[in-house]
A and B are shown apart, each in its own frame.
Chain A
Amino acid sequence: MDNIVLLVVLPLLAAFLMPVVARSSEVVARTLGLSVLFISIGIILNVWSQSGQIDSQAVSIVIGGFLPPLGINFYVDQISLFFALAVPVMVLLFWPWHRATSIREYSLMMLLTASASGLILSGDLFNIYVFYELLGIASYSLVAIQGRVSAVAASFRYLLMGSVGSVMMLLGIAIIYTQTGTLNLAHLSLLAPEKLNNMLGLASFALILTGMGVKAELFPVNSWVPEVYGSVSSNLAALMAGLLSKLAVIVIVRLLILLFPQPEALQLMGMLGILGVLTGELVAWRSRDFVRMLSFSSIGQLGLIFLAFSIPGEMGMMAGIAIALHHMLVKPALFMLATGWRGAVENLSGVARRSPFVVLLFIVLILSLLGIPPLPGFWAKYLLMVGLSSQDGFIYTLGMIIVPLAMVIEMAYLFKIVMIMYRKDNDEPAVNNSNIVDDSNIVDDSNIKVVQKHSKWGLAIAASVAAMLIAIVLQLQPASDKLLSLANQLSDRNYYISTVFPQIHTVRMQSIK
């Protein structure tokens, strides 16, 4: 169980060693990174199989031998373990295999892995900030070295926005620390009803929400999204849209549950979610570029997730997790399909005749994204609507109107693409047969008119995602049971506190308080 800390430490070790090893042998250095990812997956699977207890019981892992709240702990429950597994798996899937770049890019990928795992596992507010910052800097660098000039510009804007965000988050954490004098999440949660249930608490939540929201594509701080996803490779875009945004969301939700009991915090998040849905879908509808469309649709989906999590009670929690997991599967697959379809939507006319199988995959994926029964996306949205209808309050009523509206807009632009794909065209666009885009040259995105071929790897990922969606439909009952237990564990404050501070300790804490 203590091995869990290796999920963060081993990738860091690999990242530090890779440039050194690469001086003597580049092959060994690359193998080092990959083998660390495999070891990480092995560790998690081992924990999962060895102790079936994780299903019922969470564990707090002490680092450095100092009991919380003095020391730092990692908190391992079902959802953090699940995301900790998703990190190495998805990094492995979207590893920059065939790009001939410096070994430092692989090193940055390892740092990204380590920080993502740390972010989801950490049980300490400041430790979360450190990993969030590391995640940010690793992703700015990865975006900037994508080889296009537009990527450097996009990365710079992303850097500005991200830095302002992390300063705001740090300010929020500082306020919490001045109010409570502690940083451990469980200890804070113990003190929160008394010390953070006021305007200052709300203000610090707003600061942390906007800070973390930069990665989670939250409404006012998401203008980097289309630019960055449009200028990086599909692999990195898939990783960022699929995994990193969800990690930020889950951490925000965890902080919300543990530290901020006030209903205004939920309403604030719900409102920003609704604005995100509206702006994301409307701009996606108007955009002419396929990748940009996907990026804006991603903003819309993240807005839905925030709206779902803002519903109090287990229904909202279930809906939020369901939409998050669903988007985590579908969006990377769509980005993998987008490898071959970069550029304006009009260029896609007639692709259905040339590659019918790929277009079929695309249709399955977008049907699920839209929420057409019986695909999993429908059940996720169904949960959201049921959750919304069970609440009264302005935000939730507004949500009841906005969500179907967003679905209609989404349907309009996604089906428009399908129509274009099935259109007969007379002039065939030139097909570029090389799989590898020459990234070292400065490529102007708007000038790419050629339709490139899909990589086999990307198609395999997209196909397996589609297969998984259908498998979930067949296994709906077990899936929803699992979802319910995830939601229950995530929303249980007292359970979190008692896991980190076993009984005797709790008594002592209260006496100190």
Chain B
Amino acid sequence: MRNIAGLLFAGGLAFLLLVLASYLPYGQTPMFLGDAILAHAPGEVHTANIVAAVLLAYRGIDTLGELSILFTAAAGVGLILGHRSLRSDSAGVNGAVNSEQHSGFITTRAVDLIMPLLMVVGFYIIFYGHVTPGGGFQGGVILATAFFLPVLVRPGTRIEHGVITLLEGLAGSGFILVGLWAMFYDQPFLQPIFDSFLGTGPLGSLWSAGSLPLLYLAVGLKVGSELAGLLVTVSEVPELSETNISDADDINRK
């Protein structure tokens, strides 16, 4: 049954793509949403970076969903890789990595120098997300890199997961709490707040766009801690030992 279903599926897909290729009018797309947002966003949301307005204001709940997807993926990978059937006898393997076996003096020192600079760049991109191209997602990835580089040049370092867990949990809840804050004032969830002490500066200045920079900070920290956590989890996976290989065979046979 599976072969027939597969054949039907592939045939149908090929037919669909042919139809699409022949009918799709290239280069003439109606820009209803795009034009409307371009016209409204500077006045309504006060962001110089329209992408930030779309991500955080007009489609804020999509961004929340995407953050949750990242969180789910990281949690899933953590659970699967941390599972006992893969972890069995891993303590010995991991401990056997010689802590002296690092990447040499020059690389280590260079990374130590680069890391704070990367942190600064990451936070800059996050904080200026509503003004210049950039924002939480991009800045978060840079933060994760900054965090992971020292781990990369010193294999075998034990990382305490506590800080990462704390940061990813709090950053995610921060995003939601900013959204709930608006509901507290009887406004819809995730409505941007322009209060006396939040950013009310002129368009294009750092202190503008109301509560959106707060959201971007939450996004940046969330993405950064999530990716850092993922990288650390993957780097801690024990190399395949004899037992693990037999497990893998077991999977293949099924």
Query: Within the complex, which residue of A17, A222, A283 is in contact with B169, where a contact is CB–CB below 8 Å?
Result: A17
Interface residues of A in 149-208 (CB under 8 A from B): 149-150, 152-153, 168, 175, 178-183, 198-200, 202-203, 206-207
Interface size class on chain A is 35 or more
User: Residue B159 at the A interface, CB < 8 A?
Assistant: no
User: Residue B250 at the A interface, CB < 8 A?
Assistant: yes
User: Residue A40 at the B interface, CB < 8 A?
Assistant: no
User: Residue A279 at the B interface, CB < 8 A?
Assistant: yes
User: Residue A232 at the B interface, CB < 8 A?
Assistant: no
Cβ contact within 8 Å between B247 and A149: yes
Query: Within the complex, which residue of B2, B16, B66 is in contact with A130, where a contact is CB–CB below 8 Å?
Result: B66
Task: Give chain A residues whose Cβ lies under 8 Å from the Cβ of B169.
Answer: 16-20
Q: Give the docked Cα–Cα distance between A61 and B183 (Å).
A: 13
Task: Give chain B residues whose Cβ lies under 8 Å from the Cβ of A431.
Answer: none
In the complex formed, the residue of A with least CB distance to B82 is A102
Cβ contact within 8 Å between A181 and B34: yes
Known: A64-B192, A206-B12. A181 touches B33 (CB 8 A): yes
In the complex formed, the residue of B with least CB distance to A9 is B176
Interface residues of B in 128-174 (CB under 8 A from A): 162, 165-166, 168-170, 172-173
Query: Within the complex, which residue of A61, A71, A134, A199 is in contact with B68, where a contact is CB–CB below 8 Å?
Result: A134
Cβ contact within 8 Å between A137 and B73: yes
Interface size class on chain B is 35 or more
User: Residue B60 at the A interface, CB < 8 A?
Assistant: yes
Known: A145-B79, A223-B5. A5 touches B189 (CB 8 A): yes
User: Residue B122 at the A interface, CB < 8 A?
Assistant: no
Cβ contact within 8 Å between A66 and B72: no
Task: Give chain A residues whose Cβ lies under 8 Å from the Cβ of B66.
Answer: 130
Cβ contact within 8 Å between B190 and A181: no
Task: Give chain B residues whose Cβ lies under 8 Å from the Cβ of A175.
Answer: 20, 24
Task: Give chain A residues whose Cβ lies under 8 Å from the Cβ of B190.
Answer: 63-65
In the complex formed, the residue of B with least CB distance to A513 is B32
User: Residue B62 at the A interface, CB < 8 A?
Assistant: yes
Main secondary structure of the interface of A (DSSP, over half): helix
- CB A185 to nearest CB in B, in angstroms, measures 13
Contact indicator per residue, chain A 133-155, by CB within 8 Å of chain B (1) or not (0): 11001101100110101101100
Q: Give the docked Cα–Cα distance between A259 and B80 (Å).
A: 39
Cβ contact within 8 Å between B61 and A13: no
Task: Give chain A residues whose Cβ lies under 8 Å from the Cβ of B168.
Answer: 16, 19
Cβ contact within 8 Å between A442 and B62: no
Cβ contact within 8 Å between B19 and A203: yes
The CB with the most chain A CB atoms within 10 A, among B31, B57, B76, is that of B76
Task: Give chain A residues whose Cβ lies under 8 Å from the Cβ of B20.
Answer: 175, 200, 203
* A to B CB contacts below 8 Å, 22 in the list: A2-B189, A9-B176, A12-B176, A16-B168, A16-B176, A23-B165, A63-B188, A64-B189, A69-B32, A72-B60, A102-B79, A108-B76, A126-B59, A138-B72, A141-B73, A179-B30, A181-B32, A200-B19, A202-B19, A203-B19, A220-B6, A279-B5
Chain A interface residues (CB < 8 Å from chain B): 2, 5-6, 8-9, 12-13, 15-20, 23, 61-66, 69-72, 102, 104-105, 107-108, 111, 114-115, 118, 126-127, 130-131, 133-134, 137-138, 140-141, 144-145, 147, 149-150, 152-153, 168, 175, 178-183, 198-200, 202-203, 206-207, 210, 219-223, 279, 283, 440, 442, 512
Given contacts A19-B75, A145-B79, A512-B32, 7 further A-B contacts (CB under 8 A): A63-B188, A64-B190, A105-B79, A141-B75, A147-B85, A149-B85, A200-B19
